[in-house]
Amino acid sequence: MKRYLNGPLLVMLAPATVLLGVFILLPMLLTIWLSLQDWSTQTGFDTARFIGLDNFAEIFGPGSVGRDFKTALANTAIYTVASVAVILPLSVLFGLLVYQQRVAGGVVLRTILFSSYMVPMIAVTLVWSKLYSPSEGPLNQILGWLAIPPQKWLSSPDSALGSIVLLNVWQQVGYFTVLAVAGLTQIPKTLYEAAEVDGAGPVASFFRITLPLLRRTMLFSGVIAIINAVQVFEPVALITQGGPINSTNVLTYHIRRVGIERSQGGLGSAMAVTLMLALIVAVVALFAFARRGGEEE
């Protein structure tokens, strides 16, 4: 019986497996192979020359290539940590507001949050570039009404990356709010009723019931948020081009600059492999942290 069932199961899985292999596994293996080669993107793969780990030694070395790469890696790490640290708490807060049916304006808030995620990132980037305009931008005009000096936003190395983080939070928080609401619907209401009978207030119920039971949802949200953050590209490519003074030069944009604009395919592939490994380490560390927290409780 088991053999009979395996046949149809394999037939159904075959198309998806083939597609994953062709469009995901093969490009990954090709990128790893190219990271060990001296290769220009203006030539064919037959011109690639094996140089071992020299590309990795160069991007982590003391030269200009290494300095630019390490700056891009640090910017990506800061952007990712800041985005996740803001998105996850906001998604839980908005999820609680949306989930409460008796809150006034809950339907309007739900519509606004959900619709923001449906807007393409390119459109969001173009709109926010106008909002950040130092002279006629609405954000600086609002600050002027509050007697706050106008901010440089994207034109200052101190605030440019944070401005990109704010843009990303606005676009992404609606999606993660949906995930938070889905997690809240899985929590039995009887637990809150029992806590209320025992005299627990809303704050105690939130920290003793809601947060612990949202751990799996938050773990999934954290992984997706990290993956989305390290792939940031459109805001940098469209409005900052990595500036000012490399303050927004993230790895995805830097890989494109090195691999395509400078035709250094081997170096670009080595950077892409490093980004992939860093992402794997971050996700594994997040799972380990979540498991350790669960065991302690």
Domains of the chain: 55-296 (1.10.3720.10)
What does each C-alpha distance from 71 to 75, 161, 162, 201, 282 come to in angstroms?
A: 6, 12, 16, 47, 18
Interacting residues of 290 by C-beta distance below 8 A, sequence separation 6+: 215, 219
- pLDDT surpassing 70 at residue 296: no
CB-based burial of residue 75 (10 Å sphere; 0-12 exposed, 13-18 middle, 19+ buried)? buried
For residues 136-164, average pLDDT: 89
250-294: per-residue pLDDT in tens? Answer: 999 999 999 999 999 999 999 999 999 999 999 999 888 888 766
Pair 165, 79: CB distance under 8 Å: yes
Residue where the block lists tokens 């393409």: 120
pLDDT, residue 82, reads 96
Cα–Cα distance for residue pair 179/213, rounded to 1 Å: 13
pLDDT, residue 280, reads 93
Pair 290, 219: CB distance under 8 Å: yes
Angle at 38 between CA 32 and CA 39, to 5 degrees: 85
- pLDDT surpassing 90 at residue 25: no
Q: How many CA atoms lie within 13 A of 94 on its CB side?
A: 24
Pair 254, 68: CB distance under 8 Å: yes
Average pLDDT over the chain reads 87
- pLDDT surpassing 70 at residue 125: yes
Interacting residues of 214 by C-beta distance below 8 A, sequence separation 6+: 92, 180, 183, 184, 187
CB crowding 211-233: b at 16 or more within 10 Å, else e: eeebeebbbebbbbbbebbbebe
Cα–Cα distance for residue pair 148/133, rounded to 1 Å: 16
Supply 51's token pair. 């140089």
Pair 131, 142: CB distance under 8 Å: no
pLDDT, residue 1, reads 44
pLDDT, residue 198, reads 81
Cα–Cα distance for residue pair 98/181, rounded to 1 Å: 7
